[in-house]
Amino acid sequence: MAKPKSEQDFMDEVAAELRGDSEAADEVYESETPEPSEELEALRAERDEMKDRFVRALADAENTRKRAERDRREAETYGGSKMARDMLPVYDNLARALETANDETKEVSKALLEGVELTMRELLNVFKKHGIEPIAPEVGDRFDPQQHQAMFEAPLPGTKAGDIIQVAATGFMLHDRLLRPAQVGVSSTPAS
């Protein structure tokens, strides 16, 4: 497709023809017009660049969508972890109250004891409903640093090093994340 002549090109061509130099006039016009194959190659290169940018923008949008979906799921699953941590002392206090009431020889109001037990059961049901599970190690279990926190070490005859010898506080998991490790005492008895 021929490029339309500008006013200056037309004037240059007319001036060249008046001088009797028609070949020069043709050169002036042709030197500014790219070859059709060069123009086609330039358009193809521009098309390829635009296609590459479009594909990259699509991939970026898809990655953003996936990241937002993952963040939404995590917020839904683990968003209440701060509130759950704040509720753990309530559990601890209820457990201590039940332990004390069962250990004491004094007569504790049966209604009061039943109320505390019901409150504890309800709290555990709410925990379970929201994916909070207790970690309750037993004396004699092996110490697991992924779920337990060693509060102290002491040699105890009849145990092996790394055995749990006392449970100070129950730990909790929120789905697959550790909310609070179980606080335990660990045996440091050397191997004989």
- Does 161 lie in the same domain as 91? yes
Mean pLDDT, rounded, of the chain: 84
Q: State mean pLDDT over 160-171.
A: 92
pLDDT at residue 25 in the model: 47
| Cα angle for residues 57, 58, 63 (degrees, 5° grid) | 95
CATH number, position 133: 2.30.22.10
Is residue 2, in this structure, part of any structural domain at all? Answer: no
Q: What is the mean pLDDT of residues 27-43?
A: 71
Instruction: Provide the 10 A C-beta neighbour count for residue 183.
Output: 17
Tens digit of each residue's pLDDT (9 = 90 or more) over 41-92:
999 999 999 999 999 999 999 999 999 999 999 888 888 888 888 889 999 9
CB-based burial label for 180 (10 Å; 0-12, 13-18, 19+): buried
pLDDT above 60: residue 33: no
Q: Which of 38, 62, 77 is the last residue of a domain?
A: 77
**pTM score of the predicted model:** 0.60
Distance (Å, whole) CA 57 – CA 62: 9
The verdict on 103 and 18 lying in the same domain is no
User: Which tens digit of pLDDT belongs to each residue from 90-130?
Assistant: 999 888 888 887 665 556 677 788 888 899 999 999 999 98
Half-sphere exposure of 3 (CA within 13 A, CB side): 15
Structural domain span for residue 179: 81-187
Query: Same domain, yes or no, for 54 and 125?
Result: no
